[in-house]
Amino acid sequence: MEHLWWLLLGLLALLALGIPIYAALGVLGAAAIYIALPVPVPSILASQAWNQTNNFILTAIPLFVFMGELLLHSGVTEEGYRALHRWLGRVPGGLAHANIAACSVFAAACGSSSATTASVGSVSLPEMLKRGYDRSLSFGSIAAGGTLGILIPPSICMILFGALTGVSIGKLYMAGIVPGLALSSLFMLYIAFAAWRRPHVVPRSTEPFSLAAAIKASLGIIPVFLLIVAVLGSLYAGVATPTEAAALGASGALLVAAYRRRLTVKMVAQSAIATVHVTSMLLLIVVASTTIHFVLIRLGVPSALVGMAEEQGLSANLVLLLVIAVVTLAGMLIDPISMMVMVLPTLAPLLTAMKIDLIWFGVVMVILVEAALLTPPMALNIFVVRGLDPSASTWEVARGALPFVAMMYVLIGVLFVFPALALWLPARMF
């Protein structure tokens, strides 16, 4: 266990020096092989990288990212937000509700938190501030809504979780649907409570509601709903693997862009370049972390954790609470995706030994990653929202996001009491 602490301290030191996470992990892994192992073999670095990335499941990542980028550049986000604004504008806090609803829809077509935050926020934030909405609530609803992109499938986080633990990605996707919708509902409940408790923070809209206008505005996003149903339906019915469903989604996104008359060579090139950037970053982190995993396994750290839990007579619930506390702290200090890739191979044997369902834990883990995206200092969505309004301070955005973080931990508590919320759909897959 001593080696684990040295690795963590070394990682924090390298990150404090401003070294990118993938480079820090790679340096640590290479150093650990030469220091901790009795007979270091240089070829281990290459073989471990190849074994981890030579995985057909990971092919789904660039395909889903490409799908989201195509939809982003096709203008679906703007049209979806305006349609939801038509439906919810008269409700107290209507624009904030529209943020959450738009993020939920775009999350189901994107799978990326930062892309969801940036695309919805760029449309909604100017509108909210112009109408006199409270700045912190505006920032918080956008930042929190964006996190739904990694819980509501398709989710890049869930692909990584499945690849690292061997859990079915299709079942993880199904497991995320109900909790994702539940979290969206909790966000909206908080907004409704804020509107009731402090009416001045959410000015009421004076625009008359028109059913015909709302229906007309919604017609443009029907193709996106059909695409989402096709992707998730093919997984639920068992007729497609996650990679095949991702290919279906990317092909369907091309058709949606063509239907909306936005399909151009320039747009496809921009989407492809963005896909390469995102995928390269994720796979570099995966490759760099594999050497550390190899060293930890050779040193017996996972088995030592299992032995420690059994020796102390810890219950499964107590182990889960300890894991949640460790992951929460790590997510505040390290990039959340990197944190997940680092800790999962070490924690998975412990959770399996404690007979904790890894599909259920996959949902909990993704919610913790969502919370990390809103918890400073490493709070990616906070900085994305700050980029939308340079006059905003980090504290102003974080203060608006903290109540939504509390809702995430409320959902984790609900999942403890009612695990079927995550496990009911996967159990009924074909």
pLDDT in tens, the chain (430 residues): 556 677 777 777 877 777 777 788 778 777 777 776 666 566 666 776 777 677 778 888 888 889 888 888 887 777 777 777 777 767 777 788 888 888 888 777 776 777 778 878 888 888 888 888 888 889 999 999 888 878 888 888 888 898 888 898 989 999 999 999 999 999 999 998 988 888 877 777 666 667 777 777 777 778 888 888 888 888 888 888 888 988 998 999 999 888 888 889 999 999 899 889 888 888 888 887 777 777 777 777 777 777 777 777 788 889 899 889 988 988 887 777 778 887 888 888 888 888 899 999 999 999 999 999 898 877 888 888 888 888 888 888 989 999 999 999 999 999 999 999 999 999 887 6
Distance between CA 188 and CA 97 in Å, rounded? 6
Task: Please give the structure tokens belonging to residue 267.
Answer: 């747009």
Q: What is the CA radius of gyration of the chain?
A: 22
- Map tokens 């998730």 to a residue: 232
Q: pTM for the full model?
A: 0.88
List Cβ<8 Å contacts ≥24 apart for 11-16.
11/334, 12/333, 12/334, 15/333, 15/334
Exposure string over 130-158, b if 16+ CB within 10 A, otherwise e: ebebbbbbbbbbbbbbbbbbbbbbbbbbb
Distance in angstroms (rounded) separating the CA atoms of residues 21 and 380:
14
Domain ranges in the chain are: 17-427
CB 370 within 8 A of CB 178: no
Q: How many CB atoms lie within 10 A of CB 378?
A: 20
Cβ burial 197-236 (10 Å sphere, 16+ → b, else e): eeeebbbebeeeeeeeebeebbebbebbeebbebbbebbb
Task: Name residue, tokens 């028109």.
Answer: 210
Tell me the CB-side half-sphere exposure of residue 100, using CA atoms within 13 A: 25
Q: What is the distance between the alpha carbons of residues 136 and 401, in angstroms, rounded to a whole number?
A: 8
- The structure tokens 């073989």 sit at 47
Cis ω on the peptide bond leading into residue 203 (within 30° of 0)?
Answer: no
